[in-house]
Amino acid sequence: MSAVKIFLRNDDVNNLDAELLEFWRIVCENRACADMAVEPANVVAETVSWLRELKQNHPDQISIITHGYDHVDKVPGMGEFGGRTYEDQIKDVRAGRELMDKNFGDDFFAAFTCPRGGHNQATIRCMDETGYKVFSSYHNVYAKNKILYGVGHLLRRTHLLGKRVSHHMQRIPGSGLMDISMSMSLIKRYFSDDDCEFPTLDYLKERLDRIRATGQTVIGVTVHHRYHRRPEHMQLIADALRMFRDEGCEFSTLERLYKELT
C-alpha cells in the first residue's frame, strides 16, 4: 500500500514574527515540509527576503504560494472572495499574482488558496486566467460530502446546491487547475482572529485514521502559525509532525505533488 503523503499549508504569512520563525524551526527539526501561503498585499520585505533564502537553501522542503490578496472579507461571512462577481475578483487576483511574481520570481509556485475558504465559480475562472496551476481549498471525508462530490463529478461542477465540490487530486472541470486540498487542521475551532481551540494529539490521530480508512493517500494539513503563540501550542505542531512520521506518512509540498500529477 502506498504511503500517505502529508503536506502542511501554513496560511497568513505576512510579517516575519517569532511564531513564523519557530514554526519553520520545528519543520526543519522534524525533517518535514511546508507550503508558505503569502498574503501578497501584506507581506513585508523582510519576510520576502527570508522566504527566498529558505527556498534557495531548502528547495524541496518549501513552496511559496498565494493566500488571497489582502485578507480582508469583502462580503460578511464569505471570506475574501465568496459572494463577489468575476469583474470584482479579477482585479484582486491579478494584482496579487503580479506582486507574487515581482517579489518572489522563480521562487514562487503558482498555487492559490482563499482566506477563510470562501470562493465561487468566478474565483476559479480568475485563477485560471492568471496562470495558476493549483487551487488548494478543503476536502471533507464525511459521507454526506461524498454524495455531493459524486454528483458534482458526474455533472462536472465546481459547486452544487451552494456547496463546494472537491476534485481533490484531479483537474478542476473547465479549467487547467489541479485541486490539491486540505482535510485536516491543527486548529479545531476558530473563535476570532486571535483565539481558537486546539485539538489534542489523540484527536489528530483519530482524524488521520479516519481519512486513511477512505483510501485517501494525500492529506493536506492546515496550519496558522500566528495562533500558536504559547510554547504548548508550538509543541502541538512538533508532536503532530512526529505522529505523522511514526504513522509511516511522508512529507511533501504542493509544488512536488503537482509535478507528480502532471
| pLDDT band (50, 70, 90) for residue 144 | confident
CATH code: domain of residue 168: 3.20.20.370
First and final CA of the chain: distance in angstroms? Answer: 22
Range of the domain at 28: 5-261
Averaged pLDDT for residues 173-199:
96
Q: Write the pLDDT tens digit of every residue in 98-116.
A: 999 999 999 999 999 999 9
pLDDT value for 9: 99
Mean pLDDT of the chain: 96
Closest CA to 149 of 138, 134, 160: 160
pLDDT value for 141: 84
Query: Three-class SS string for the chain?
Result: CCCCEEEEEEEEECCCCHHHHHHHHHHHHCCCCEEEEECCCCCCHHHHHHHHHHHHHCCCCEEEEEECCCCCCCCCCCCCCCCCCHHHHHHHHHHHHHHHHHHHHHHEEEEEECHHHCCCHHHHHHHHHCCCCEECCECCCCHHHHHHHHHHHHHCCCEECCEECCCCCEECCCCCCEECCEEEECCCEEEECCEEECCCHHHHHHHHHHHHHCCCCEEEEEECHHHCCCHHHHHHHHHHHHHHHHCCCEEECHHHHHHHHC
Pairing of strands 5-13, 34-38: parallel
Task: Find the angle CA(139)-CA(248)-CA(217) to the nearest 5 degrees.
Answer: 30
Query: Residue type for 65, please?
Result: I
Averaged pLDDT for residues 66-77:
93
Cell 471533507, residue located: 140
Q: How many domains does the chain contain in total?
A: 1
Answer yes or no: is pLDDT of 146 > 90: no
Answer yes or no: is pLDDT of 94 > 90: yes
Answer yes or no: is pLDDT of 58 > 70: yes
pLDDT value for 190: 94
| pLDDT band (50, 70, 90) for residue 257 | very high
Answer yes or no: is pLDDT of 191 > 70: yes
Task: Record the pTM.
Answer: 0.95
Pairwise CA distance, residues 262 & 257, whole Å = 9
| pLDDT band (50, 70, 90) for residue 77 | confident
